Structure 1
Amino acid sequence: MFPPYHQNFDLMDDLSQQKVPFFFMVDFLMENVEVFQENEINKNSLLIDFQNFKNIKEVEAGNQEIDLKVFSESEENYRKGFDFVKENLRLGNSYLTNYTIKSEIEINLTLKEIFYRSRAKYKVLYKDHFVFFSPETFVEIIGDQIFTHPMKGTIDASIENAAEILKNDVKEKAEHYTVVDLLRNDLSMVANDVQLDEFQRIDFLKTQQKNLYAMSSKISGKLKPEFQNKIGSLMKTLLPAGSILGAPKPKTLEIILEAENYERGFYTGVCGWFDGENLDSCVMIRFIEKENGKLFFKSGGGITHLSKFADEYKEMKNKIYVPIH
């Protein structure tokens, strides 16, 4: 069972029915739901840079050379959770499990400087607590249409024929098919006429450390009447996001909570901006959090029965980057 839902989901329903703009954040376990009307955003030390909404001033980005040191989780520690996940996959308790860890990092920038200097589709700085720079849309609503863009599968772009390798890799393809299928089913709970519009699109992600290719698809549907102008009810039904959880959802969540030796918090949760008519939301990944004065980068990937330990450990480390160039 998922944890009890927060009353702020009801507030989101009320505001969206009244067509009042607001920004929201829901953590991974749906235990913390924060809602900010437009006039409350700046009071809460919240900086937002979305495609359709920004509350930031353009500032001089600075040209200071980035010094990022990563202290990755040891192979031994990573393997404990990985083996537990693989055993559950073998037993048929899950067929895709998104396994993540946190790695300590040191960087010669503040969270605010990281926010301003990074380049991403979605960026948020929350107080001096966390910053993320996510490339992944969760759901968009335009009129009565809903869209989702599952992103699953990455590869180092410097590898020869990297995009073709990614598209044809048996493990990555299986993982992508699974997430597309899962999100098609999820969308069917809130929408009719659900269809796959685009499959296995390859996006280029430029970073200072290394460039990556990521694989995405696009799914759309027409919102059911009971979910129109009800953003809270919609999120309550769709979350946790399938792309960062796995399938089937309830059992896979149990596996994740046992395998991971830390709390995700807002990492892999969802946040979004409702402008009074339409919604744009993202999955909170590529995430740096401050804990007791130290910085931690949370990262991971989808594990299937085809996953190899060395490949998954490498992918988890590949995703520890800051998109500054």
Structure 2
Amino acid sequence: MDILPGGRTPGLRNKKKMAYIEISTEPQKDRNSKKGESPIILFKKKNELALHLDNLKIILSNSNATVIRCRGSMGYLCCFCEQQYSDPGDLKQHNLHHEDIFESNYIKNQTMPTFLIKLDITNLCCNICSKRIIELDDLLHHLKDEHEIQYNMGLNSHIVPFRFGSDKLRCVVCKHIFNNFKVLLEHMNLHFRNYICEICDSGFVNKRISQMHGYRHKIGVFNCSYCGKEFNNKIKQRAHERAVHICLNKRSRCGYCGDRFSDYTKKHEHEVREHGAKPVVVTCYACEKIFDNQRSLSVHIKTFHLMER
């Protein structure tokens, strides 16, 4: 069989998308081959998800970057356990006590349609030579050029970097400031346009987010499964069902005791009063006025700054 550059073989067909095929470094004998015959080299196939995980392993093995599972009501969640930390730096120290992240269910349960890794690159540096590096892409180039560590190039990255070096949540790409991690995460779809909406040209990190967005463009008649109320798209129908019928108008859940509240502001007031959580302080990016909740900030921006524009 002819072998093309990069170990690829011509005319290969498979139902799954194969990003490349490489020859195993340790050839194995075919079970049907007879004694004395030359061993048949077996091929190791890697799909797209495996290639992304290979790149993630290279980053985590050779730098101080840390994976963050998500941002909960009490703080940033560990990928191994249910611990949450309001300071991402504390989570980074906590992760040192865990074993290999690739043995965690968080990684083992990953699928390509939903694959999105949130990576803390605060004070990023190379573990090999201790060189301080600013951007994630620069780290990969550094590992390749200086330490001859190869990574899988040509992939649309699903690894989204964040930096928590100050009290303000700032996008690592465009430097815009956000008061909420969830809003910042949604904003990163602008920079990681792996999947593009054919209708409005919006970009998204993974296929699942893109599909959920697509429901907004499917206009029709969608009735609530509980009360029959009519909506013009499925997103509004699902939001109504969850808010009114499933959560009984109490969508915000306390991260400490599980009590539910009708909105985020009431939930946070409860957490501060009953559980000693830190009060929220959000700052207007235009005039630096301070508010104690996101709703007040949004009203302020719409009233004073959008009207001015």
For the aligned pair, the TM-score class normalised by the smaller chain equals under 0.3
TM-score normalised per structure 1 = 0.18
Name which structure has the greater RCO, CA cutoff 8 Å, separation 6+. Answer: 1
* Larger CA Rg, structure 1 vs 2: 2
* TM-score (structure 2 length as normaliser): 0.18
